[in-house]
A and B are shown apart, each in its own frame.
Chain A
Amino acid sequence: MTPALLAALEAARAAKRPVVLATRLPDGAQCLLPHPAQPAALNEAAARALAEDTSGTVTIDGAQWFLHAYTPPLRLIVVGAVHIAQALVPFASQVGFAVTVVDPRRAFASDERFPDVTVRTDWPDEAMDALAPDARTAVVTLTHDPKLDDPALDRALRSPAFYIGALGSRRTHAARLARLTALGHDAAALARIKGPVGLDLEAVTAPEIGLSIAAELVAARRGSPLAPARPVAAAA
């Protein structure tokens, strides 16, 4: 790989632009895709690799190409800069999520408590509107406070986020669902919220709960049977 190509690849990744590094085997000729100068069949194969987020080898016009898909990281929006968030963030980062923590309470949402991730101190509805969750985004609410959690969940339900989880006991969750119903969400939409959040590990401590949420994020991302059932997304 030439330094120029590596720089171009790193620039695409820094700009969160999905890109495929195509390497012809075995001679190692390389290019970045999509590119108008490359054959249509190669560009189409690259588009498939990006859509499926899967790297692999394809044969096109008798030539073997390794298509390495570089997709932007999945995103995790954590509402509530609480102790459990401090435990969740490093686990989520380790498994490949770009994490944003949202909490208007500045005492909680400090860079000191959350080094290395983006921290926002605007209100969750404003933050969610700005962050615009897509199908590669997960949203987890951890505040326990309806004033903060509800607006975030409301926005999350109106987005195609692939995972929505809310911390709280079954009783808290039932009350929450009643409030969100009053905001106009139907049962099918509300079924998208995983509550209580996280895989059932009988977790007790903050790090254990953080681990159970991170584990559920992986399960949801990979389509594991342990992931919460996924009703058809009611994306706007």
Chain B
Amino acid sequence: MSNEMEDVLAQAARWQAAGEQVAIATVTETWGSSPRPAGSQMAVTKSGKMAGSVSGGCIEGAVADAAQRTMETGTPQLLDFGVTNERAWEVGLACGGKVKVFVEKLA
């Protein structure tokens, strides 16, 4: 977890120090062939900046939307993505895996 590209937390802290509102999304569980393991993170700012990833690109858009809501309300969310979920029609994982993603505000 040392390298700059993977270091989402450090990036989140830098954004916050620069006055941005920041939310952090973390993969908490995976089933099947998920591309990113538990602990993978993505940081999102109110202004729309993104760093890191929680999948192979399949669900980052939906997670970023959820992050915007969490930044507005301050309420964390536990998101479920996978083939059994109704979200699958919009933002399913093409790999057929399932992931849970926790979204929290940095505040």
Contacts and interface: CB of A to CB of B under 8 A. Distances in A.
Interface of A: 1-3, 6-7, 9-10, 13, 23, 25-28, 54-57, 66, 68-71, 73, 93-98
Contact of B102 (A28, A73, A97): A28
Contact of A94 (B5, B12, B39, B76): B5
State the main secondary structure of chain B at its contact with A.
mixed
B16 A3 contact: yes
Given A1-B24, A6-B13, A96-B3, A25 B38 contact: no
B26 interface: yes
B78 interface: yes
B28 to A, nearest CB: 4
B107 interface: yes
B1 A73 contact: yes
Contacts of A28: 76, 102, 104
B20 interface: no
Contact of B2 (A2, A57, A66, A97): A97
Interface of B: 1-3, 5-6, 9-10, 12-13, 16, 24, 26, 28-29, 37-39, 76-78, 100, 102, 104-107
B39 A96 contact: no
Given A26-B78, A55-B38, A66-B26, A10 B10 contact: yes
A70 B24 CA distance: 16
Contacts of B1: 13, 70-71, 73, 96
Contact of A93 (B3, B10, B13, B37): B3
A138 to B, nearest CB: 14
Contacts of A73: 1-2
15 contacts: A1-B105, A2-B107, A9-B9, A13-B1, A23-B26, A26-B78, A55-B38, A55-B39, A57-B28, A57-B38, A66-B102, A68-B39, A73-B2, A93-B2, A95-B3
